[in-house]
């Protein structure tokens, strides 16, 4: 009996019953346009705008808010003046994306571990006052980190249009500012 089934199976394979071409029955949409849309624009070098780095508390507060939050919908506290929670894209109201830099970086007041990127605690003292980093370096890093490291894991923030140059300045100003909290 067993032998009979085996023979039947072999006969079916030989006769091509399992070799049917099913390609026309399987839906396979062309993913090229989706992949093209998600492809990052090429790395871009920027010159930090004049008067970019500011000690204006409101600008630094906006930079801080962008650093510590994911988007306007998820944010628990209201954003500082001048930073919207929602923006209109193609006539649709959508939450404004923020930086969520704390997903990867530790910094004063951060609650998560943020240990994928370097710890940015005391950045002013360790990196700026020590002369290790310039404001231009930090601006470029936040605008498009690929210039410094082509294999970076950091988000690309200016070249992708995620943020405006003014917002990049505010995030940079926050990173390099003297902070009071631990
Ligand atoms: C997905 C993880 C990730 C996210 C999100 C991220 N970073 Fe980074 N960041 C890194 C890594 C990794 C490095 C180390 C250098 C590199 O790989 O580019 C880095 C480096 C840096 C540096 C340079 C530190 C130095 O002087 O060496 C700064 C400043 C910085 N990030 C700021 C930010 C800011 C601001 C944001 C949010 C807008 C952010 N990062 C979001 C991963 C991340």
Would you kindly state where each structural domain of the chain is located, as residue ranges? 45-176
- Nearest residue to 40 (alpha-carbon basis) of 173, 159, 126: 159
User: Which pLDDT score is estimated for 18?
Assistant: 65
- From first CA to last CA, the distance across the chain in angstroms is 78
Ligand 1 atom 18 nearest Cα: 152
What is the arithmetic mean of pLDDT over 53-60? 98
- Determine the atom of ligand 1 nearest the C-alpha atom of 137: 26
Ligand 1 atom 41 nearest Cα: 101
Please answer whether residues 104 and 154 qualify as being in contact, where contact means their C-beta atoms are separated by less than 8 angstroms: yes
d(Cα 163, Cα 100) in Å, to the nearest integer? 13
What is the arithmetic mean of pLDDT over 162-173? 97
80 CB-contact burial (10 Å; exposed 0-12 / middle 13-18 / buried 19+): middle
Total residue count of the chain as it appears in this document = 182
Please answer whether residues 145 and 152 qualify as being in contact, where contact means their C-beta atoms are separated by less than 8 angstroms: yes
If you search the block for the tokens 């394979």, which residue do you land on? 13
Inter-residue long-range contacts of 122-126, CB under 8 Å, 24+ positions, other chains counted: 123/175, 123/176, 124/176, 124/177, 124/178, 124/179
| pTM greater than 0.75 | yes
Residues in contact with ligand 1 by the CB-under-6-Å rule are 67, 99, 101, 103-105, 116-118, 127, 133, 138, 141-142, 145, 148-149, 152-155, 157, 171, 175
What is the arithmetic mean of pLDDT over 107-116? 90
Higher pLDDT pick, 141 / 6: 141
Of 1.10.10, 1.10.760, 1.20.120, 1.10.3470, which CATH number belongs to 45-176? 1.10.760
Q: How far is the CA of 2 from the centre of ligand 1 (A)?
A: 65
d(Cα 49, Cα 149) in Å, to the nearest integer? 22
Please answer whether residues 147 and 153 qualify as being in contact, where contact means their C-beta atoms are separated by less than 8 angstroms: no
73: pLDDT strictly greater than 60: yes
- Determine the atom of ligand 1 nearest the C-alpha atom of 171: 35
Confidence of residue 16 (pLDDT cuts 50, 70, 90): low
Confidence of residue 37 (pLDDT cuts 50, 70, 90): confident
Ligand 1 atom 43 nearest Cα: 154
């Amino acid at each position: 009996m067993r032998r009979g089934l085996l023979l039947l199976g072999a006969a079916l394979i030989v006769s091509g019953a399992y070799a049917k071409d099913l390609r026309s029955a399987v839906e396979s949409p062309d993913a090229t346009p989706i992949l093209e849309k998600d492809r990052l624009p090429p790395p871009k070098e920027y010159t930090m705008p004049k008067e970019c780095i500011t000690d204006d508390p409101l600008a630094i507060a906006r930079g801080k808010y962008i650093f510590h939050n994911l988007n306007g919908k998820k944010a628990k506290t209201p954003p500082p003046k001048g930073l919207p929670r929602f923006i209109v894209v193609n006539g649709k109201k959508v939450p404004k994306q923020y930086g969520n830099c704390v997903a990867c970086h530790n910094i004063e007041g951060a609650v998560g571990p943020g240990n994928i990127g370097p710890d940015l605690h005391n950045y002013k003292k360790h990196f700026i006052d020590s002369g290790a980093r310039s404001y231009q370096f930090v601006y470029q890093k936040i605008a498009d980190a690929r210039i410094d490291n082509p294999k970076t894991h950091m988000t690309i923030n200016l070249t992708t249009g995620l943020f405006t140059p003014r917002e990049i300045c505010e995030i940079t100003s926050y990173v390099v500012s003297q902070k009071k909290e631990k």
